[in-house]
Amino acid sequence: MSTLSIERHKSKRAWVLLAVVIVLAGLNALNGATNYLRNAETFQEQGVTWLAVWGQGGLLWAILFFPFLITIRAASLTRMEHEQGNWRRLASYGAHLRVYRGKLLLLAGFVLCCQAAFIVVVAIASLLLGFELPPEAIAAMLCWGLLGAIGGMTVAAIQLVVGIIVRSYATAVAIGLVASVGSLMATLGGLDLLYPYAQAGVGMRVRALDWPTVPETFGFLVWNTLLIVAAVLIGRMVLRRKEH
């Protein structure tokens, strides 16, 4: 059985959090649809359709709810190892780094599921409002959703390190919550391009609502790659040196 399969088997109640993901994604899409209906005349004059749902619905999703959901998932993956003293046992026969890799892959799958859920509910809300979704609209949703997932992986990699260092589940979640709220302030302050927990919003274009330029895309990918690699290296170093 692969490490990923083992980690998935250990997460017996993951479906509960996935249900929460669907509910929150739906509520955010509903918020976007409601905002469109309130300002329908203005949006119609501007020729704005599904982008109104994506922008309004994606704002809080990308910079608050999505990072916090990742925080909860990451904390739950590390809590089980702390509670049973598994890190020390795994380290005794050299399996701790393999387990770490499995948890990272499981988080990547969770991030993709979150983004897939958001894209689907935004598409459904847009169709219910009578909007057409041509291929270019679907392509934008998929590309921006994927870029948002890359930003989400930045949060996942960092929070996994936090969960390894901090034994308390509540403390790890609290750190992620504060950092997620910080992304809201960073976005309002124009610092979202650099702030790690705001990267999902940058990738999803929830404020710009247009295609990123080539330099913007390159900069985004390079910055997030650096953050993810740095977090993974720190995580591996902590697992090698920390006395569990």
Average pLDDT of 108-117? 97
In three-state secondary structure terms, 8 is helix
How far apart are the C-alpha atoms of 165 and 228, rounded to whole Å? 17
Name the pLDDT band for 143 (thresholds 50, 70, 90): very high
Q: Could you say which DSSP state residue 197 is in?
A: G
Residue 166 identity (one-letter amino acid): V
Surface-to-core class of residue 215, CB atoms within 10 Å of its CB (0-12 exposed, 13-18 middle, 19+ buried): exposed
Cα angle 54-198-194, degrees, rounded to a multiple of 5:
130
Segment of 6-20, 23-37, 72-86, 182-196 carrying the highest mean pLDDT = 23-37
What distance in Å separates the CA atoms of residue 169 and residue 77, rounded to the nearest whole number?
Answer: 10
Structure confidence at residue 122 (pLDDT) = 97
Query: What confidence tier does 101 reach under pLDDT thresholds 50, 70, 90?
Result: confident
Q: Residue 114 in contact with residue 25, Cβ under 8 Å?
A: yes
Distances (CA, A) of 196 to 80, 116, 150, 179: 26, 21, 11, 9
Task: Please give the distance of CA 198 from its chain centroid, rounded to a whole number.
Answer: 10
pLDDT grade, residue 240 (50/70/90)? Answer: confident
The rounded percent of the chain whose pLDDT value lies above 70 is: 87
What is the pLDDT, as a whole number, of residue 84? 63
Q: Is the pLDDT of residue 59 over 90?
A: yes
Mean pLDDT for the stretch of residues 220-237: 95
Average pLDDT over the chain, rounded to whole?
A: 89
pLDDT at 56 over 60: yes
Give the rounded distance of the alpha carbon of 204 from its chain centre: 11
- The answer to whether 115 and 67 are in contact (CB under 8 A) is no
Check whether 130 has a pLDDT greater than 50: yes
Using one digit for the tens of pLDDT, what is the confidence trace for 178-228?
Answer: 999 999 889 888 889 999 999 999 999 999 999 999 999 999 999 999 999
The whole-number pLDDT of residue 148 equals 98
68 touches 176 (CB < 8 A): yes
Q: Is the pLDDT of residue 95 over 60?
A: no
pLDDT (mean) for 127-142: 95
Query: Which sign, positive or negative, has the C-alpha torsion 157, 84, 97, 7?
Result: negative
User: Which two three-digit tokens encode residue 82?
Assistant: 């702390």
- Supply the pLDDT for residue 225: 98
244 pLDDT more than 50: no
Instruction: Look up residue 112 and give its amino acid.
Output: L
Which pTM was predicted? Answer: 0.91
Most confident of 68-82, 95-109, 116-130: 116-130
Q: Which two tokens stand for residue 221?
A: 């990918």
